[in-house]
Each structure stands twice: as structure tokens, then as C-alpha cells.
Chain A
Amino acid sequence: MGDFFVEVDHAQLSKHNKQVPGDVFLSKKADKENRIVSVLADGLGSGIKANVLATLTTTISVNLTCNSVDIKDTAETIMKTLPECKERKISYSTFTIIDIDLRANQVEIMEFDNPGFMLFRDQKRKSLEKSKIDMNNPIGTSQTLYYSQFNIELGDRLIVFSDGVSQAGIGNKNYSLGWPEEEIASTVKERMSRLKDASARELSNFLVEEAHKIDGKEAKDDITSACFYFRSPRRTLLITGPPVDKSDDYKIKRKVEQFGGKKIICGGTTSKIYARLADKEINVNLESINKDIPPDSEIEGLDLVTEGILTMSRAIELLEAGGPDKIDVDDPGYKLYNMLKDSDYIKFVVGTKINEVHQNPNIPEDLGLRKNVVKKMAELLRDKYLKKVEIEYI
């Protein structure tokens, strides 16, 4: 995994009383996740027709760009292909194409008639030079597009939005010309200074809500906002089970020490090994006793310490269900579920010593098989939650 993780999310509200939005945002990963292509398109008008046009635009441009077509050529294809409004002589759909290349550390953006993107770096808005590109549409009308490019820096946030945001409140006393660009930027900036680690989801939701408020809670147009947050990946190490060979016990301590990120140990014996080698105390978390699964504990240097099989099985249940019916913050299974869900990369280190404990005839057999539990958990995280997962056996 590269130095950056790109968190992408968007939020949307349809025009008041319209079911289907005319704005469409689409994002796709390609090239072993080293490339992310996203498009925000706004179809002319609103409702289903606008939605079809915008969907067409996003799908074609995302797929073309993912297949390594240059972003400018993609834009040109779209301009040539899209039908256009005969009366108004304008193209049916505006768009912003964003091509993120993590290997080259670079972002390219092609804009056609959408409000300009905003880049925030170090809590400040960073303006970039845009080059103007003229392209003809099928009936020969010249249209202006803008191309920009920048190198990614850790912590960058890129925000794009539809004109439902920039024209929010239009005609109102205070917003006769809509929501001014500088005001949008300062609102976002203020939010980020209060919520330093605001996620892409939080920021895009926030912007849509603010625009909606300015519109007097009745959206005059579809309001869409998308955010890209370039941050360091959230890494988590989960160690479970003692190594086959006792002489390998030291590996547990070493893995913990060498890992950068959150650290979890699931398993009583494993945590005892760590505590002994690292010379730390184990403190049982009394709040979490009396639950269906054994309590968790605290060991300095670790973010979570739980029992093994039962707790992991509980977390699997939660991952499968997409969360608990009722949140119990003291439930060790919930804590584990939460930490895994919040990670981008999870490294499992699995000790494969056969646990004689689970050869006890009173325990269901599949519970005893730590490897199976880990495998199931890893699969879920990878397939359902799109996490990057690695498993190492010791």
C-alpha cells in the first residue's frame, strides 16, 4: 500500500419534490487500487431524464479513464457523444472528471461547466492554475473546458459539488446570486478547523446540509457534493493465538513493537505472552464483565485486548449484520468490530498452536478452529468492507 489512502465519499439531496436526482456521482478503483477515477455529472434539467444523461456521462467517462484513456481524450469523447439541447445550444450534461494516480502521486481534473473544484491544503484553500481547452460539440459550437493537475500532499482534501450548492438560496434576500464561492470555501475551512480529522463522508454531508439550509430546507435543485481525503492509511494489527513453537513467542512482542498503527490482541494466552515479555500488567475491564462473551482487558501499548474465539465470532456476526441492533460500547465484540471497520489495512498475525482448550468436548468444534475464524473475518473485511487484508501465520 502506498503512502496515501484516498477516502472518497459523496452526499446528495434531490430537488424538492423530485424523486430522482439529475446529478450523478460515480467512483471506481482500477489498477490494483492505485488509481481512482471519479466523475460528477449534472444532467440538464431535473428528474429522470437528467438522471439518465448524467448516468451516461459518468459511466462512459469513468470506464474510459479507468482503461487508461487520457482524461482530455475522455472529455472529448463525451463532448462528441452527448446529445445537446437544440434550443439552448448547450450540452446536456456538465461534468467534472477526476483521475487520481497514487503511483504517480498525481491528480488530474477536467471540468466542464460544473462549479470549480476546491483543494484544501494545511487548512487553507489552495488555488491552482487551470488551462483552458476549447472543444467543439457535434453541431460545432465551441465549449470551454478546464484542465488542472496537482501533486498530492498528505492531508489534502479535494471537494467538488454541483450547482445545487453554488446556487443555493438564489433569489433570497441574502443570496441573490447564490452561495458565493469564497463563502463556501470559508464554511468548509471552518468545519475542518473544528473537526481536524473530518472524514470525506462528514464533509460532503456537511456541505449538502449547509446548502440545503440556505435553500430554506427546500432544495431548488439537486444538491451534490463529493469529497476526497488523502490521508495516511489507518493500519491495524490483530494478533491472535500463540505461535506453534514456544521459542517463537518473542515474535509477538516484536510484531507489536514494529507495527505503526492500532494494535489488537485477541486471545487470553496470547495477551499473557505479550504482557510477560513486554513486562506489562493486564487489567481486566470490569465494565465489560457479565456480557455474553468474556471481558476485555487493558495492556499498555495495545489499543484493544480481548479473549479470542468468542469475541472474534461476535465481531464477525456484527460485520455480517452491518452493525448491532443496539449499541453497547462495553461489548468487547463491538469494540473489535468498530476498530476493524475504521481501518483501511488490517494485518492478521495468527499463531497456529493447537489450542488444547478447545479440544474440550463441551465446546462446539468449529469454535476451536482459530484459523477458520480468522479466515472468515478476513474474507468479510475484504469482500464486504473493501479493506486491504493480509494474514501471516506464526
Chain B
Amino acid sequence: MKIRICLGTCCHLMGGADLYNFLEEQLEKSNRDFELETPSCLDYCNQADYEAPIVEIDEEIHDDVTIEKLKNILNQE
């Protein structure tokens, strides 16, 4: 699984770094195989239908992501 957590200005301000910390911890605990990236601005925060922070998982965009939301997505996968 490839996860990209946006750490651009907007997403960082809206909690992107917390998501990264959470995922890094998960990565250490679980034996799931995921690749973690932290690009700068993915260019969604300026689009009306999206809200920061943005996370891209296997090329699918998720917006307004919280740790809860992230947990749910990961459990579904």
C-alpha cells in the first residue's frame, strides 16, 4: 500500500504531521507493508470540494482526514 500524506502549508497546518506520526507508529507496530511519502502541496487544498489535510492512498484522494478516519480506511483495506 502506498500512502502519501500531504505536508504542504495547508495540510500541515490542519494536522498533517499528526497523521504522519500516527502512521509511522502503525508502521512500526504492524507487519503490513506500506510505503509512506510526504509530498508538499498536492494541489487539492485550493479546490472548493476538498478540505485539508489531504491523504492519498493507492492513488485515491481522501480529504479532511483525521486519525479516526485514517484508522477506518486502513481497516477497510
Contact = CB atoms under 8 A, between A and B. Distances in A.
26 contacts: A268-B8, A268-B40, A269-B41, A271-B40, A284-B7, A289-B38, A290-B21, A291-B17, A294-B12, A294-B17, A295-B7, A307-B7, A307-B9, A307-B40, A308-B9, A309-B9, A310-B12, A310-B13, A357-B8, A357-B10, A357-B46, A358-B9, A360-B46, A360-B52, A362-B13, A362-B14
A308 B7 CA distance: 12
A297 B8 CA distance: 12
Interface in B1-60: 7-10, 12-14, 16-17, 20-21, 37-41, 45-46, 52
Contacts of B17: 289-291, 294
Interface string A360-376: 10110000000000000
Contacts of B39: 284
Interface string A286-299: 10011101110100
Contacts of B21: 290
A138 to B, nearest CB: 69
A362 B9 CA distance: 12
Contact of B8 (A290, A294, A356): A294
Interface string A242-279: 00000000000000000000000000110110000000
B8 A362 contact: no
Contact of B9 (A268, A271, A289, A295): A268
A363 B10 contact: yes
Contacts of A269: 40-41
B40 A362 contact: no
A249 B16 CA distance: 28
B46 A294 contact: no
A131 interface: no
A357 B38 contact: no
A268 B41 contact: yes
B21 to A, nearest CB: 6
A81 interface: no
Contact of A310 (B9, B38, B41, B46): B9
Interface residues of A, number: 26
B29 to A, nearest CB: 17
Contacts of A19: none
Contacts of B40: 268-269, 271-272, 282, 294, 297, 307
A284 B46 contact: no
A193 interface: no
Nearest to A292: B17
A289 B46 contact: no
A294 B45 contact: no
A359 interface: yes
Contacts of A357: 8-10, 41, 45-46
A74 B4 CA distance: 69
Contacts of A290: 17, 20-21
Contacts of B9: 268, 294, 307-310, 357-358, 363
A294 B7 contact: yes
B10 A307 contact: no
A284 B40 CA distance: 9
Contacts of B52: 360, 362
B69 to A, nearest CB: 17
Contacts of B13: 310, 362-363
